[in-house]
Structure 1
Amino acid sequence: MYLEHYGLAALPFTLTPDTHYFYELTPHAEALEVLVAALDGGEGIIKVIGEVGTGKTLLCRKMMNQLAPQYVGLFLPNPYVSAHEIRHAIATCLKIKIDSEVNQASLTQAIERSLMRLNEQGKKLVVFIDEAQALPDETLEAIRLFTNIETEKDKLIQVVLFGQPELDMRLRQSKLRQLQQRVVFSYQLRPLTFAEAKLYIQHRLKMSGYQGEPLFNAKTVKLIWRASRGIPRLLNILCHKALIVSYGKGDPLISIASVQSAIADTDNVSHYPVWPKWLYFLIPLVLFECYVIFSWLRGAV
């Protein structure tokens, strides 16, 4: 691979949500602030919405890693869980011994007692659910009922839903309106701006051990940013492929041609026509000629 060629200690643009590469660009820093404020405020349900590849899972893992000591965190990466399975997951997290024949009512009561004991210790449970747009309706209803467990002053369980825009569409359904009303804090992750994309690429290279001059210049970053539409996952894919192509050519830096090859080889990116340089000089000349002809015609009339 290209690691030795570019003096890297690790692959900089992997798709796994590695918090080692987390960079507090504006959208992610703001999302973290919202999450911290919402948890500290004791809100029951918090929602983070973002398109595919905008960094929701990485943000979730980052938030879990920096949870204050008064929180017990439970991460559910698989949204295809039934109401029964989510109760078991919470019970396991709370170290409740589960009898194979226990019914759901008894299990819910055991969870409530355990949450009460946790509250007496000055702690509470936070459940992080990724890809929440895929949760079954019955599971969403179970989550809503769990947020009813409270004392006179505190919610005993808080839930953070990370989902794609489809989650908002689902919550607008009449049958889920009670759950929607419980969502007190919400944040919408946006794609990165050009300036943020440039910082993002530089940061990941630096965290991977790169110390030389910038591998990607302003022109190549702009090509990648436009093609990726500012979506971090697509940025990673295009940068990784551009590095492979440039390494194959033996180039010390990433060329425009290598980036164009990466874009052509990638699905779900925006493709823009690449005009030859001489055309940029010809277009103003043609426009000027048109202006002269138009002016002459007006004078002739």
Structure 2
Amino acid sequence: MYLYHFGLRELPFTLTPNTNFYLGMAPHFEAFEVLLTALKTGEGFIKVIGEVGTGKTLLCRKLLNEIPEHFITAYIPNPYLQPDELRRAVAVELGVKQAQRMSVQLLTQRIQERLLTLHSQGHSVVLILDEAQALPAESLEALRLFTNLETETRKLLQVVLFAQPELDQRLNEDTFRQLKQRITFSYHLRAMTEQEVAKYIEHRLQVAGYKGAQLFDEKLCARIARVSHGIPRLVNILCHKMLMLSYGQGSYRLTKKHLTLAVQDTESTGEMLDNRRKWITAGALLSLVLLSLYFLGGTR
């Protein structure tokens, strides 16, 4: 790959939500502060909404890593579960023994007993669901019933939902009005501005170990911000492809041409050129880069 070429320790623009690359820009910093404040006040439901690729999962992992010690977390990364499956997944996360073998009634009782035990030990329990827009309707209702478990002064279970805007559309339905009323803290994770995109790119390169001259100048960062619409995932994809192209050409300088070719090869940018021949040229160039990387790897 291009690590040695640019003097990098690791790939700076991967799609894996690595918290080592976290940059506390305004949208993510504000969302994180909202989460911590809501959790400390004992609210039942907390919701973070963001478009695809805006960094919800990264924020979710940062919360899991940095949540205060007295919190016990139950993390459900894929909530496309029916109510019984959701209850059992929560029970397993909370350490309820033989959760897979119990009846629903007994399982609910054991979950409540476990929550009361943790509460008596001074713990607060948080259920965190990523991609919550995928929850079936019946499971959303089961989730609401979970928050009925409480003492006279505090909820036994708090719920944090990370989701795409589709969840808000569903919650606007009359069926879910009770659940919507229980969401007391909510934050909408916006895309990055041009200035934030420039800081984001520079930050990731520095974390990855880059120490050379500026690779992405101000104008190039502004163009990347426009074609990516400030979506971190798309910024990563475009920058990664640009570095690949530059390496494949034996160049240490990134240009507008590299960005144009990366955009043509990335459907999600929504900025494709209509000229079919340019599509073919871009695809062919990227293919040549990949082939050259393969053969270079084989000769070392």
Using the TM superposition, give the Cα deviation of residue 249 of structure 1 relative to its aligned residue in structure 2, in angstroms.
1.4
What is residue 276 of structure 2 aligned with on the other side? none
Using the TM superposition, give the Cα deviation of residue 100 of structure 1 relative to its aligned residue in structure 2, in angstroms.
5.3
Q: 2: CA distance between counterparts of 1:101 and 1:206? A: 50
What is residue 223 of structure 2 aligned with on the other side? 223
- CA-to-partner distance for each residue in 1:209-263, whole Å, 9 max, x for gaps? 0011211001111111110000000000000000011111111121111111111
1:160 and 2:160 are equivalent in the alignment: yes
Task: Report the AA paired with residue 62 of structure 1.
Answer: K
Structure 1 runs not aligned, ≥5 long? 274-301
Q: 1: CA distance between counterparts of 2:223 and 2:250? A: 21
Q: 2: CA distance between counterparts of 1:170 and 1:69? A: 34
What is residue 70 of structure 2 aligned with on the other side? 70
- The structure-2 alpha-carbon separation of the partners of 1:49 and 1:72, relative to structure 1 and needing over 3 Å to count, comes to same
- The structure-2 alpha-carbon separation of the partners of 1:105 and 1:272, relative to structure 1 and needing over 3 Å to count, comes to closer
1:242 and 2:236 are equivalent in the alignment: no
1:39 and 2:39 are equivalent in the alignment: yes
Classify the secondary structure of the residue corresponding to 2:127: strand
Q: 1: CA distance between counterparts of 2:187 and 2:115? A: 27
- CA-to-partner distance for each residue in 1:51-86, whole Å, 9 max, x for gaps? 000000000000110011111112111121111111
Structure 2 runs not aligned, ≥5 long? 274-300
Task: Report the AA paired with residue 252 of structure 1.
Answer: Y
Runs of 4+ in 1 over 4 A off after TM superposition: none
77-86 or 96-105: bigger deviation: 96-105
- The structure-2 alpha-carbon separation of the partners of 1:154 and 1:246, relative to structure 1 and needing over 3 Å to count, comes to same
1:145 and 2:145 are equivalent in the alignment: yes
Q: Is the 8 A contact 1:226 1:270 kept in 2?
A: no
Q: 2: CA distance between counterparts of 1:70 and 1:99? A: 24
Q: 1: CA distance between counterparts of 2:121 and 2:81? A: 30
Identity %, equivalent residues: 52
38-47 or 79-88: bigger deviation: 79-88
- CA-to-partner distance for each residue in 1:153-195, whole Å, 9 max, x for gaps? 1111111001111100000111111100110000000000000
TM-score (norm 1): 0.88
What is residue 25 of structure 1 aligned with on the other side? 25
Q: Is the 8 A contact 2:245 2:258 kept in 1?
A: yes
TM-score (norm 2): 0.89
Q: 2: CA distance between counterparts of 1:127 and 1:52? A: 22
Using the TM superposition, give the Cα deviation of residue 272 of structure 1 relative to its aligned residue in structure 2, in angstroms.
7.9
Using the TM superposition, give the Cα deviation of residue 116 of structure 1 relative to its aligned residue in structure 2, in angstroms.
0.5
Q: 2: CA distance between counterparts of 1:272 and 1:101? A: 53
Using the TM superposition, give the Cα deviation of residue 268 of structure 1 relative to its aligned residue in structure 2, in angstroms.
1.7
Q: Report which of the two structures shows the higher radius of gyration computed on alpha carbons.
A: 1
Q: Is the 8 A contact 1:133 1:163 kept in 2?
A: yes
Q: 1: CA distance between counterparts of 2:233 and 2:255? A: 21
Task: Report the AA paired with residue 189 of structure 2.
Answer: L
- The structure-2 alpha-carbon separation of the partners of 1:23 and 1:101, relative to structure 1 and needing over 3 Å to count, comes to closer
Using the TM superposition, give the Cα deviation of residue 94 of structure 1 relative to its aligned residue in structure 2, in angstroms.
2.1
What is residue 60 of structure 2 aligned with on the other side? 60
